[in-house]
Structure 1
Amino acid sequence: MNLSMIELSRLLIAFVPVVLVIGIMWHWRLQPGKASWAMLRMLVQLLLIGYVLVFIFEAQSSLIVIAVILVMISASSWIALNTISEQRKSLYFITLISVGIGGSLTLALITQLVLELETWFEPRYLIPLAGMTFANAMTSVSLAAERLYAELKHGHSFIDSRNIAFQAGMIPVINSLFAVGLVSLPGMMTGQILSGVSPFIAARYQIMVMCMIFASAGLSTYGFLFLVQRKH
């Protein structure tokens, strides 16, 4: 058995608790099929992205990097509306603008003014940071959208529903701010420490990332709620 097969067999152990959770969902009839499909997509997507990133890093093309970011924005905007799928077609453009502008402004500030990349489109920095930015914006918008329409269905005014929705959308980000360093060491900081980088340097980069995540989530959620309010 070669090294890759050993690594694969060890990786399969990580799926044991996953199967347990899906079994619980099946027993309680909580859409285990959807969770299984999500896990399968995650597995395929992450296996494929390794090959894609090698190509992108070697190409060093600004057009390819821009295309990747546009795909991220489009996909995250579509996925963000999973919580209100019946409104997806009417709200997709609004979500696209909100996530695109809120995430892109924050990403540009971090990469161009904080990191000061030698080439503005350096894929080794821009693409991973873009992934963090748009993923967190997606999550916040998704939570806010679900809460907004839930509150409206309960007869609350739009202003009250909007405020509740914004708070709901920011809960994961704010909780992560409270927990970082005490409960968890985020992925970027952990990866740097494991690769031998000084914990002090890793902490500085993680502070930058946490600010980026908070800002992109907040701006994107605000943009979504503002545009929906104008639509209403």
Structure 2
Amino acid sequence: MNNIQTIPLQNLAFILIPVLAVLVILFKWGQGAGHASYAILRMLVQLLLIGYVLNYLFASNSAPVTLLILAVMIIFSSWIALGTVKSMRNKLLWKAMLAVLTGGGLTLWMVVQPVLELHPWHQPRFVIPLAGMIFASAMNSISLAADRFQADKLNGAAYAEARNRALHTAMIPTINGLLAVGLVSLPGMMTGQILSGVSPFIAARYQIMVMTMIFAASGLSAACFLSLLKTNERN
């Protein structure tokens, strides 16, 4: 089995050329490149730092440390998810956290135990990357659901109607991803495994796990969040 080659930093810099092209287009078309530039810079810093952090976490193999990292991921994903409804962020934060914990946490447990049968369950090398994909999916679905729900409520829609439309909107990217996988794209995990020399048959099984866990986490988290919003109707 061949190991994937290390990318030299000077080679990695070439990908910044099309990135800069997009930033120029955003600026020329009046969208402003400030927010996108900040997002790219933050991504670079976060990924460079996470390499050092993950080395420590993988070496620790500690259940309390793993749980602490999962809690931090839930808090930050919930906060970011509510960026589409900033005026209600503080009020809805606990609901978003509970939704991510319920939908994402249940899905993560199913993957870690019945599917992968990890022993011990808290192995950070497996749990943290999987949790990242799951909580990110939950975050995106809640963000879309919150934005659509608020828009429909402002337009006078009843709770049930706004809820149904919001869930539909939240699931569009995930369902499109299911339809396109294998035909339009080979997703990240499968591509990475194939590049590392893993058999495509084995890589496909892992990708099936990833796609289904993303679908489940997205749907359950969005549905839980929208159900919790019904309490606002009573207040």
Matched to 1:229, the amino acid is K
- TM-score where L is the length of structure 1: 0.95
The aligned counterpart of 2:135 is: 134
Residue 29 (structure 1) shift: 2.5
Q: Tell me, in whole angstroms, the C-alpha distance in 1 between the residues paired with 2:151 and 2:65.
A: 39
The aligned counterpart of 2:196 is: 195
What does residue range 35-46 of structure 1 map to in structure 2 within 5 Å?
A: 35-46=36-47
Moved more, 25-34 or 73-82: 25-34
Residue 12 (structure 1) shift: 1.3
Q: Tell me, in whole angstroms, the C-alpha distance in 2 between the residues paired with 1:88 and 1:28.
A: 30
- Which structure 2 segments of 5+ residues have no match? 1-5
Among all aligned residue pairs of Structure 1 and Structure 2, give the percentage whose two residues are the same amino acid.
Answer: 54
The aligned counterpart of 1:29 is: 30
- TM-score where L is the length of structure 2: 0.94
Residue 108 (structure 1) shift: 0.3
Q: Tell me, in whole angstroms, the C-alpha distance in 1 between the residues paired with 2:166 and 2:32.
A: 25
Q: Tell me, in whole angstroms, the C-alpha distance in 2 between the residues paired with 1:221 and 1:32.
A: 30
Q: Tell me, in whole angstroms, the C-alpha distance in 2 between the residues paired with 1:31 and 1:67.
A: 37
Residue 20 (structure 1) shift: 1.3
What does residue range 76-225 of structure 1 map to in structure 2 within 5 Å?
A: 76-225=77-226
Alignment deviations for residues 63-122 of structure 1 (CA, whole Å, 9 cap, x no partner): 111111111101000000111111101111110100111100100011111100021101
Matched to 1:127, the amino acid is I
Alignment deviations for residues 146-173 of structure 1 (CA, whole Å, 9 cap, x no partner): 0111111122222111111000000110
Runs of 4+ in 1 over 3 A off after TM superposition: none
Q: Tell me, in whole angstroms, the C-alpha distance in 2 between the residues paired with 1:153 and 1:31.
A: 28
The verdict on how the C-alpha distance between 1:31 and 1:85 changes in structure 2, with shifts beyond 3 A counting, is farther
The aligned counterpart of 1:19 is: 20
The aligned counterpart of 2:3 is: none
Q: Tell me, in whole angstroms, the C-alpha distance in 2 between the residues paired with 1:79 and 1:113.
A: 30
Residue 28 (structure 1) shift: 2.4
SS in 1 for 2:229: helix
The verdict on how the C-alpha distance between 1:31 and 1:92 changes in structure 2, with shifts beyond 3 A counting, is farther
Matched to 1:154, the amino acid is N
- Which structure 1 segments of 5+ residues have no match? none
Aligned-residue RMSD, C-alpha:
1.4
Moved more, 16-25 or 96-105: 16-25
Residue 222 (structure 1) shift: 0.3
Q: Tell me, in whole angstroms, the C-alpha distance in 2 between the residues paired with 1:52 and 1:29.
A: 38
